[in-house]
């Protein structure tokens, strides 16, 4: 049954032991962090500093918290708000970091509209630093970043029409934009084509980014941002959704889907520097929309690439991939630059729940009596 298969998969891949290092953060009282300190470059000396008190129990966005697919066939106007905020949270147990966020989560919430829809966007800055938002789905100066700049305590707004379909990043674009993105200020807007995307059974949403700190990976205490490490492109962590192994079984996961479901996965790569090599261990992207691109004048399913093993997703871009789930298994979503999985914290897990189909996959096969390779009938 599934439990047996799951244990075998974990052992064979060799990541189970690593994943168990990522536990669920404990509840903690209110923060006393100073967000302005994030702007300072860390010195070359690593100073032992106790973890800060966290002000949120969870920074990792829920991959299943996604707006419903488009089901309207005429242009609409959407009133959407985003809040700029800074929070102290755990990257892993005993390791705290000062994040910058849209709506208090990493990645920021998905925005989902239809080609031709109008978005009336209001932003409010509840943090201690200036922020803004650049939407790659916007025709306009800075993707709207100039119009959405807000100092602490301020609001701002803009209106735009979503004219081209696809999945696009949005991110903070102030002068220290690389730092703000690394610390969590990025998300995705999906502009569905007029005919919509093909129906699927389940959708998941992830954001990949690097975090650069003044301590080694896993070193307990409070990690401050390190500008020099970012300039060298030498991250302490490479993460999905802001926490080490956030949605793996040993932490907040695994995510469960039913056998036979078609699962669509949205990935936004914030970076600010690393591309993702997005791969589903034990599965394949049966349909893939590279760089989040979907057509406006043809069937998206016909346009998609088929049976892609690993998708290159540059920083500042997105991915839409679909998986079939014919057998029970644990699917590991990884960056196939695998040291980022084993050493830097990037892993999510999806459990397919159902009954084994030995015609497709037989993990208990004992072999045949034939000597040497035998192929065909």
The per-residue pLDDT for range 127-186, each reduced to its tens digit, is 999 999 999 999 999 999 999 999 999 999 999 999 999 999 999 999 999 999 999 999
Lowest mean pLDDT among 216-225, 258-267, 365-374: 365-374
DSSP 352-372: EES---TTT--TT----S--S
Would 57 be classed as within a structural domain?
Answer: yes
Q: Which pLDDT does position 112 carry in this prediction?
A: 98
Would 84 be classed as within a structural domain?
Answer: yes
Domain end marker among 140, 157, 192: 192
The answer to whether residue 59 scores a pLDDT higher than 90 is yes
147 plus 247 within the same structural domain: no
104 plus 162 within the same structural domain: yes
Q: Which pLDDT does position 122 carry in this prediction?
A: 98
226 plus 187 within the same structural domain: no
The answer to whether residue 34 scores a pLDDT higher than 50 is no
185 plus 203 within the same structural domain: no
70 plus 175 within the same structural domain: yes
Domain end marker among 192, 222, 240: 192
Q: How many CB atoms lie within 10 A of CB 157?
A: 14
The answer to whether residue 27 scores a pLDDT higher than 70 is no
Identify the band that residue 12 occupies on the pLDDT scale cut at 50, 70 and 90: very low
DSSP 293-355: ---SSS-HHHHSEEEESEEEE-TTEEEEEEEE--S-EEEEEEESSTHHHHTT---EEEEEES-
Q: How many CB atoms lie within 10 A of CB 282?
A: 17
Average the pLDDT over 223-247 and give the result.
98
Q: Are 240 and 250 in contact (CB under 8 A)?
A: no
All residues at 6 or more sequence positions from 1 whose CB lies less than 8 Å from its CB, including other chains: 328, 355, 356
Identify the band that residue 296 occupies on the pLDDT scale cut at 50, 70 and 90: confident
Would 163 be classed as within a structural domain?
Answer: yes
Q: Which pLDDT does position 150 carry in this prediction?
A: 98
The answer to whether residue 123 scores a pLDDT higher than 80 is yes
Q: Which pLDDT does position 22 carry in this prediction?
A: 29
188 plus 206 within the same structural domain: no
107 plus 237 within the same structural domain: no
111 plus 170 within the same structural domain: yes
239 plus 149 within the same structural domain: no
User: For the chain, what is the domain count?
Assistant: 2
C-alpha angle 127/129/134, rounded to 5°?
Answer: 95
Average the pLDDT over 15-33 and give the result.
35
Domain end marker among 145, 169, 192: 192
Average confidence score pLDDT of the chain: 89
The answer to whether residue 41 scores a pLDDT higher than 60 is no
Q: Which pLDDT does position 298 carry in this prediction?
A: 86
174 plus 209 within the same structural domain: no
Q: Are 365 and 14 in contact (CB under 8 A)?
A: no
Q: Which pLDDT does position 187 carry in this prediction?
A: 98
Would 86 be classed as within a structural domain?
Answer: yes
Which domain, by its residues, includes 285?
2-24+199-353
Q: Which pLDDT does position 375 carry in this prediction?
A: 59
The answer to whether residue 350 scores a pLDDT higher than 80 is yes
Identify the band that residue 377 occupies on the pLDDT scale cut at 50, 70 and 90: low
108 plus 176 within the same structural domain: yes
Would 33 be classed as within a structural domain?
Answer: no
Model-level pTM?
0.87
Q: Environment class of residue 78 by beta-carbon count within 10 Å: exposed (0-12), middle (13-18) or buried (19+)?
A: middle
CATH number (domain holding residue 13)? 2.60.40.420
187 plus 203 within the same structural domain: no
Q: Which pLDDT does position 32 carry in this prediction?
A: 36
The per-residue pLDDT for range 218-233, each reduced to its tens digit, is 999 999 999 999 999 9
For residue 272, say if its preceding peptide bond is cis, omega within 30 degrees of 0.
Answer: yes
Q: Which pLDDT does position 321 carry in this prediction?
A: 98
Would 47 be classed as within a structural domain?
Answer: no
Would 32 be classed as within a structural domain?
Answer: no
User: How far is 178 from 254, CA to CA, in rounded Å?
Assistant: 30
Would 264 be classed as within a structural domain?
Answer: yes
Identify the band that residue 343 occupies on the pLDDT scale cut at 50, 70 and 90: very high
């Amino acid at each position: 049954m599934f439990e047996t298969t799951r244990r075998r998969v974990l052992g064979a891949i060799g990541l189970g032991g690593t994943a168990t290092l990522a536990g669920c953060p404990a509840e903690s009282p209110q923060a006393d962090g100073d967000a302005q300190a994030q702007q300072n470059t860390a010195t070359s000396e690593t100073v032992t500093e106790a973890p800060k008190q966290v002000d949120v129990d969870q920074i990792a966005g829920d991959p299943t918290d996604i707006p419903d697919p488009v089901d309207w066939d005429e242009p609409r106007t959407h009133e959407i708000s985003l809040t700029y905020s800074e929070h102290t949270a755990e990257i892993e147990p005993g390791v705290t970091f000062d994040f910058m966020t849209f709506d208090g989560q990493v990645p920021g919430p998905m925005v989902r509209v239809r080609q031709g829809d109008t978005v009336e966007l209001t932003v409010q800055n509840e943090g201690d630093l200036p922020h803004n938002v650049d939407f790659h789905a916007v025709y306009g100066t800075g993707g709207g970043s100039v119009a959405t700049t807000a100092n602490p305590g301020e609001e701002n707004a803009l209106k735009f029409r979503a004219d081209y379909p696809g999945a696009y990043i949005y991110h903070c674009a102030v002068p220290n934009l690389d730092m703000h993105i690394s610390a969590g200020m990025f998300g995705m807007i999906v502009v569905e084509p007029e005919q919509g995307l093909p129906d699927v059974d389940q959708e998941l949403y992830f954001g990949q980014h690097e975090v650069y700190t003044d301590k080694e990976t896993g070193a307990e205490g409070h990690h401050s941002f390190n500008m020099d490490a970012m300039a060298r492109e030498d991250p302490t962590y490479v993460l999905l959704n802001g926490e080490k192994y956030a949605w793996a079984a040993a932490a907040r996961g695994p995510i469960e889907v039913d056998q036979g479901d078609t699962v669509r996965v949205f990935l936004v790569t914030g970076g600010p520097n690393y591309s993702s090599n997005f791969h589903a261990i034990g599965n394949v992207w049966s349909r893939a929309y590279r760089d989040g691109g979907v057509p406006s004048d043809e069937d998206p399913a016909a346009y998609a690439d088929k049976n892609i093993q690993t998708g290159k997703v540059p920083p500042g871009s997105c991915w839409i991939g679909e998986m079939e789930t014919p057998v029970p298994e644990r699917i590991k979503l990884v960056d196939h630059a695998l040291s980022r999985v084993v050493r830097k914290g990037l892993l999510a897990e999806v459990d397919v729940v159902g009954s084994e189909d030995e015609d497709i996959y037989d993990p208990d096969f004992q072999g045949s009596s034939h000597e040497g390779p035998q192929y065909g009938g």
